Structure 1
Amino acid sequence: MLTHLIEYPGRTAMLNATNLSLANGRTVSFSATAGRPLAVAGISGSGKTLLLRSLADLDPARGTVNLDGVSRDAVSAPDWRARVAYVPAEPGWWAPTLRDHLPDSSSDGLAALGLAEALLDAPIDRLSTGERQRAALLRAMTRRPRALLLDEPTGPLDPATTTAVEAVLRDWPGILVLVSHDPGQPDRLGAERLSL
């Protein structure tokens, strides 16, 4: 799978949030460790995306967030985001093709996520929503962050492709926090649950 792309040495990663106050007024505390995904659940508007964006230091939030004992406030925002990667439900692109966004070593990752290598040179705006979502996941993984924050990583996918993506996520050696409206996905990933 993608193991050779995402392996990294070091102790088991841990992400902690303590009294994290989101913009919608909710306060959240939790711990997530590598090898044990955390699935965030709640009705639309409950703050799931706000939580992920706050953890990635993209939105302001009072409270404490630590990764491996290092506070989010102790490092620069770009350095934090290199360690804690956020993949939104609608990922952004700043260059015309996938090849511009992915390292040369990502061809195995393409196959694992059900993406054809020919897509590397296709214009981003010609890719389907599901292809862009999987490519954004691969882009984040190849940067080797300690934690992945995924907002609806399989929302636009058919069941077979969802199964392939979930296989990749189960192999992810770092921290995985995801939002999903698929009620069976947390169980298939062996995830703990956090309700908002």
Structure 2
Amino acid sequence: MRDMLCDTASSLFVRNLRVVRNGKALLNVSRLSLDGPGPTLILGPNGAGKSLLLRCLHGLIEPDQGRVEQDGTPLTDRHKAQQAMVFQQPVLLRRSVAANLDFVLKRQGLPRGARKLRIESLLAEGGLEGKARQPARSLSGGEAQRLAILRALALDPETLFLDEPTSALDPNATQMIERMILRASSRGVRIVMVTHDIGQARRLAADIVMMQGGHVVEHGLAKQVLNAPQSDAARRYLAGGLVT
């Protein structure tokens, strides 16, 4: 766990954000400022609005009220192009492992030789060097998720959103992905990640957003939130109690 935040990464700011479905507010965040480098981990019980907030931050869902800002301006297509997102279930193309990466790099306009070198570097980063020609959809769960993260990183994003990327994985696969996340963060990629795993939050988070019932009930440095939470909801959740 990292104890200090710095201000080198782009800032994300939420202002009066509301998402309403069938008359019920599923997300109601009056203010949230993510202005440190992260990793920022979003914690909370099922139905707390964690994934919904992540999708709003990435611009996948248009809020009914309020807005997301990046670096002081409303989120635009240009900002979204500087972001990437990986979901709980990886979505891979029906082609080889290497071709999944080449597809992204080609769309960025990289020439063939540069793409080849970049693919080799990415595969080494994810420990998939020996699987370049293997069909991507034949990979194990952990390997597939690593490829999904590599494909996102191939975009050279400023911000990478991760929605429970290790929830169905064994400890070894989880450890490999956590190492990838920390390496990306050390290179300056802002990580914003949803998890249910408090241990994972302790290992990865620089700051933590705690959610309940569509609201942000606490946000602060990981050490402070995990060891001395200020809200009743955070205290109950971290103690393993039921939070509705």
Alignment TM-score, normalising by the size of structure 2 = 0.67
What amino acid does structure 2 have at the position aligned with 1:71? P
Aligned to 2:50: 48
1:128-167, aligned counterparts within 5 Å?
128-167=140-179
Residues matched between the structures, number: 181
CA distance in 1: counterparts of 2:34 and 2:119, whole angstroms: 27
Q: Which of 17, 21, 25 is equivalent to 2:14?
A: 17
Aligned CA-pair RMSD: 2.1
Q: Does 1:70 align with 2:85?
A: no
Aligned to 2:205: 190
Structure 1 residue 156: Cα displacement: 2.9
Aligned to 2:180: 168
CA distance in 1: counterparts of 2:170 and 2:122, whole angstroms: 19
Structure 1 residue 34: Cα displacement: 4.9
Judged with a 3 Å threshold, the aligned counterparts in structure 2 of structure 1 residues 93 and 160 are, in CA distance, closer, same or farther, namely closer
What amino acid does structure 2 have at the position aligned with 1:43? P
- The structure with the larger Rg is 2
What amino acid does structure 1 have at the position aligned with 2:166? T
Describe the SS at the equivalent of 1:35.
coil
Superimposed CA distance per residue, residues 97-139 of structure 1 (whole angstroms, 9 cap, x where no aligned partner)? 222221431333333333x223222222211222111111111
CA distance in 1: counterparts of 2:48 and 2:194, whole angstroms: 11
Q: Which has the higher contact order (CA 8 A, sep 6+)?
A: 1
Superimposed CA distance per residue, residues 136-192 of structure 1 (whole angstroms, 9 cap, x where no aligned partner)? 111111211111110112223322332232222223212111011211111111331
Q: Which runs of 5+ in 1 are unaligned?
A: 1-10
Superimposed CA distance per residue, residues 62-95 of structure 1 (whole angstroms, 9 cap, x where no aligned partner)? 32212222311xx33xx34321211111132344
Judged with a 3 Å threshold, the aligned counterparts in structure 2 of structure 1 residues 174 and 95 are, in CA distance, closer, same or farther, namely same
Q: Which of 59, 62, 77 is equivalent to 2:61?
A: 59
What amino acid does structure 2 have at the position aligned with 1:161? A
Judged with a 3 Å threshold, the aligned counterparts in structure 2 of structure 1 residues 46 and 123 are, in CA distance, closer, same or farther, namely same
What amino acid does structure 2 have at the position aligned with 1:82? A
Q: Which runs of 5+ in 2 are unaligned?
A: 1-7, 106-115, 212-244
Describe the SS at the equivalent of 2:132.
helix
Identity among equivalent positions (%) equals 34
Describe the SS at the equivalent of 1:17.
strand
Q: Is the 8 A contact 1:113 1:161 kept in 2?
A: no
Judged with a 3 Å threshold, the aligned counterparts in structure 2 of structure 1 residues 167 and 99 are, in CA distance, closer, same or farther, namely same
Aligned to 2:120: 107
CA distance in 1: counterparts of 2:38 and 2:123, whole angstroms: 24
Alignment TM-score, normalising by the size of structure 1 = 0.81
Judged with a 3 Å threshold, the aligned counterparts in structure 2 of structure 1 residues 131 and 34 are, in CA distance, closer, same or farther, namely farther
What amino acid does structure 2 have at the position aligned with 1:86? M
Runs of 4 or more, structure 1, over 6 Å off, are none
Q: Is the 8 A contact 1:87 1:140 kept in 2?
A: yes
